[in-house]
A and B are shown apart, each in its own frame.
Chain A
Amino acid sequence: MQQDRHLISNEVEILREDCLRPTNKWSGTTKLWIGFLLAVLGWGIYAYIHQLRYGLGVTAMRNYVSWGLYITTFVFFIGISHSGTLVSAILRISKQEWRRPITRSAELLTWVSLFWGGIMPIIDLGRPGRIFNIVIFGRVQSPLVWDVICIFTYFIGSTIFLFLPMIPDMALCRDRLKNTKTRFYKFKKWLYTKMALGWQGTKTQWHRLEKSMTIMTIIIIPIAVSVHTVVSYIFAMTLRTGWNSTVFGPYFVAGALYSGSAGVILGMFVFRKLYKLEKYITLKHFDLMGRIVLALTLIYAYMNLNEYWIPAYKMATAEGHLLRDLFSGSYSKVFWTLQFGTVLLPIIIMSFPKGRRPNLLAIVCVIIVIGAWVKRYIIIVPTMLHPHTPIQHVPADWATYFPNWVEWSVTMGALAGMLLIITLFSKFFPMMAVWEVEEGIKINHEKEMAAQIREKMEAEINLQPIVKPG
């Protein structure tokens, strides 16, 4: 028993070292990477200032395509934000022990993508100051108002959901931060002390934390589902070809879970490699996450079929024009590449155990994430180019759309901003919930010990001679 305890404390110590090591090291590559991200973000800010100064006319958006790359990216980010809900909340509520090392990165991905997702519609406004008009003059009946309320509520919920399991880890960071030569020592000391909320690991504190986490785990799931449902309402509640669909809510939620879980796998893959966490994020994690993504891709494929097959069967006038454009017209190459390349191909690859090994699975997830982004573009832009009233007597370039340098720069800036926050986060905070993984280690040991005792007892019972009565 004593030996077991010693073993556990050794293992825990190694875990703590492994998790906190990246927060103390700033390699040259990290600095270069941060510099690159800052440069891209700076360029994006420059492009945005240019847009603010000269108006939305500097983008490729015109009267017909008034939602272009920005809204595409907004929907994409909101989709990615479902990762935390799925991996953290759903796996937590279903008591999946293997979730422990990956919940932090999933929750972080949720928070960051929501942050940037919320900014994108503001960027899409010619006069961003008018965003307050939705609060001042917003109509309760408007899906736009619901969207703002839902996203804000989800953002606050995600912040709490990310923060709660960080409290014990912040205390760990605080207590272990002894070396004054550590980079940003003073800032870190202040940050960890504030964020630890005076955590001492008392029974009452644990009780309060666990209660709060249980409540948040339950409540965050419907909120997340509502957010993407309401995002879909922005489209589905307008009378537009291609959007006038009753399955848009579940379709968007399925798409969000599919892309979000792929995003989590990418995060797992990158941090496992970078921070040498192979011991904790194992092949089993990739296999199980691969299975989840496979299941979600199948659901998404089924939703896709419903979304296109039913109107394609009827080919009603306006819908027919749009679908012809998608199936055999100017968007057909992109459309079919999406269907086969980012839905069917991942299903085939992930169906085999080898397809769920880290490297191949990461490639598949990259394809899925890019595909999810392009899919949003395909949902938004072709529909806007097929209004019910025909496009006529307008300049020729109004009838087409492809994002120009301003939109690309701003969008890439947002993406860089997202990666920058994730990078900085990983340099200040452990990317795994240390206490949760420790708890997992202890549970595993307890299980092993129980199994050993059971085996011993069974062996003793088997050794006793069977005495027949009489």
Chain B
Amino acid sequence: MKKKKIKIPVSKTFLAIAACLLFNSVTAQVDSAGQDKKESAVELSFYKKADLSKTISALVTTVGINDKWVPATGVNINFYTQTKSGTTILKTVVTNAGGIGILPFPDSLSKDAQGVYRIIARLENNSLYKDAEESIEFKEANLMLKFNPADSAHEVTAMVTETGSDGKEIPVAETEVSFFVQRLFGTMPANEDYVISTDKDGQAVFSYPGDITGGRTGKITIVAKILDNKLFGTVETKSDAPWGIVVPVETNPFPRALIMPKAPLQLIITLVLIFGGIWTTYFFIFYQLKKINEDDHVKKVSEINY
């Protein structure tokens, strides 16, 4: 029995294949767009500086090469505040090169009856990263420094309080305060045991060592910090004290020497004399050559007549 041949037009076949390929590629792109989004994470912190300015920082990280978490740069972060009435957006901030988006603390930010702020940071609807969210609750603490009487030898008291609903300052006990000294490129712990917990009166007393250098005036800047506290975040205060050792300013910190930026005069003079002498000789020779060139009109008297 002879089989019946089914004829399919070539053009239609191509069209069908092209349609299939197009469909496949579109769906593949959609799928890959969903699958290619990277994992991400958000960390929130509150920071109250010594000048009383306050910020809320969101650190956004993502999975980089070798599955290491790296900062995500240039990402939009939405900050929200959560109150009884619901969640309200505060601002959208773009992360910097370190993956940090900083929100200046809004003056109008509302807190609950216990004085607690609730902030949410969201990474959402990003084409590169999966959605991520983090929330914190914090209270605002006040950190003050008080110098003890002069005979108490470099002693300072840090007082931690929080503002009550009635507007009064309430001492905060058992909060760790770290004591530092301001140096040129950051803060240096004042000694090995530089972390002191506050007592029931909210006070942490610390004695600064007497061997800290204080520049030409002997003045040092004392820095006290509550670091990464679960309730208060990071709070900082600083104050100047005349407890440093006076370091006399060197009148000539870089005298002329072989290892210094300026060379010793003896070396300069020697080199100038040697090379000056040589180059003067060269110029004398050039002068002689010039004179040879000018002497060509003189009658030949040499035995070797070129």
Contacts and interface: CB of A to CB of B under 8 A. Distances in A.
Interface in B250-306: 258-259, 261, 263-264, 267-268, 271, 275, 278-279, 281-282, 284-285, 288-289, 291-296, 298-306
Contacts of A141: 258-259, 263-264, 267
Q: Considering residues B268, B293, B304, which has the most beta carbons from chain A within 10 angstroms of its beta carbon?
A: B304
Contacts of B298: 200, 202-205
B289 A197 contact: yes
Contacts, number: 92
Contacts of B284: 215
B299 A156 contact: no
A202 B300 contact: yes
Given A153-B275, A153-B278, A215 B285 contact: yes
A11 interface: no
B278 A157 contact: yes
Nearest to A168: B306
Contacts of A216: 285
**Most A-side CB within 10 Å, residue of B267, B275, B292:** B292
A164 B289 CA distance: 9
A199 B278 contact: no
A209 interface: yes
A290 B267 CA distance: 40
Nearest to A175: B306
Contact of B295 (A146, A153, A204, A215): A204
A211 interface: yes
A201 interface: yes
Contacts of A223: 278
A92 to B, nearest CB: 16
B64 to A, nearest CB: 22
B296 A199 contact: yes
Q: Chain A binding site: helix, strand, loop or mixed by DSSP? A: helix
B297 to A, nearest CB: 8
Nearest to A223: B278
B273 to A, nearest CB: 13
Contacts of B275: 149, 153
A205 B292 contact: yes
Contacts of B303: 442
A153 B289 CA distance: 18
A167 B285 CA distance: 13
B267 A140 contact: yes
Contact of B288 (A157, A199, A211): A211
Given A139-B261, A157-B282, A203 B292 contact: no
Contacts of B296: 197-200, 202, 205
A201 B300 contact: yes
A219 B299 CA distance: 32
B298 to A, nearest CB: 4
B306 A203 contact: no
Interface string A117-158: 000000000000000000000011100001001000100110
Contact of A198 (B261, B268, B293): B293
A54 interface: no
Contacts of A212: 285, 288-289
Interface of B: 258-259, 261, 263-264, 267-268, 271, 275, 278-279, 281-282, 284-285, 288-289, 291-296, 298-306
Interface of A: 139-141, 146, 149, 153, 156-157, 160, 164, 167-168, 171-172, 175, 197-206, 208-209, 211-212, 215-216, 219, 223, 435, 438-439, 442
24 contacts: A140-B267, A153-B279, A156-B282, A157-B282, A168-B306, A197-B293, A197-B296, A199-B296, A201-B300, A201-B304, A202-B301, A202-B302, A203-B298, A204-B291, A204-B295, A205-B295, A208-B291, A208-B292, A215-B281, A215-B285, A219-B278, A435-B304, A438-B304, A442-B303
